[in-house]
Amino acid sequence: MGSIHIEAKVGDIAETILLPGDPLRAKYVAENLLEDAVCYNHVRNMFGYTGYYNGKRVSIQGSGMGMGSTAIYVNELIETYKVKNVIRVGTCGAIQERLNVGQVILAMSASGDSGANMAYFNGFQYAATADFDLLYQAYETAKRLKINTIQGSIFSTDTFYDDNPNRWDKWERHGILGVEMETQILFTIAKRLGAKALSVLTVSDNIKTGASASSKEREQSYMDMMKIALELA
């Protein structure tokens, strides 16, 4: 018996799972980087696969865009399928001019404007942070693979479009590296439910400079990020 949004049977999903937002990225990675990959979910075309990487069992599951969609999958993966390690692999827009397209970021913490987080904590702000063990392992793995990473804080937003041209200035001044739409709720739910969480992000564009990756550059930098995440499994 599966959960509401995932049709897999209990046991079909590994203890460590990677969460790209795009289900087609999950499909691509499963078909090109995993061995003996089996698709366990087709509900809403939010594909999920379990296979093996260097002999270790790992799953990869699309989670959609935004914190609302991510929260659904993180809850069900941990509560129903007893996933222990949840690793987001996705893209972000940099808000520091020094960050180049393709840079890999290991998110230490996630500020944000999640309405769900505000509701959970009655209007107070919760410091959503990565699991230290996963973060440290990812850092050491990247060094071994000779992939340059930057460690720091990011911002998760519920709104992709906004009319304020100076929206990110205050966050840039306080050291936020980049902006995306999922990590804050991932860290919050994982902490609450007793799982470990990490977010490994690739800079796809720089909001300050206007730089943007070509499709080829995105593919290569995305693979660097995926190698780090898969080694953790």
Number of domains within the chain: 1
Q: What percent of the chain has pLDDT over 70?
A: 97
For 175, counting Cβ atoms within 10 Å of its Cβ (0-12 exposed, 13-18 middle, 19+ buried), the class is: exposed
CA distance 230 to 233: 5
Query: What's the CATH code of the domain at 217?
Result: 3.40.50.1580
Enclosing domain of residue 164: 16-232
pLDDT (tens digit per residue) in 159-179: 999 999 899 999 999 999 999
Residue 3 located in a structural domain = no
Distance between CA atoms of 31 and 25, rounded to whole angstroms? 10
Q: 43 in a domain, yes or no?
A: yes
Question: Is 9 part of any domain?
Answer: no
User: 41 in a domain, yes or no?
Assistant: yes
Q: Is the pLDDT of residue 218 over 70?
A: no
Does the pLDDT of residue 214 top 80, yes or no? no
- pTM passes above 0.75: yes
**Residues forming the active site:** 205
29 found inside a domain = yes
Distance CA 64, CA 110 (A): 18
Does residue 7 fall inside a structural domain?
no
Position 125 in a domain: yes
Round to whole Å and give the CA distance between 229 and 169.
31
11 located within any domain? no
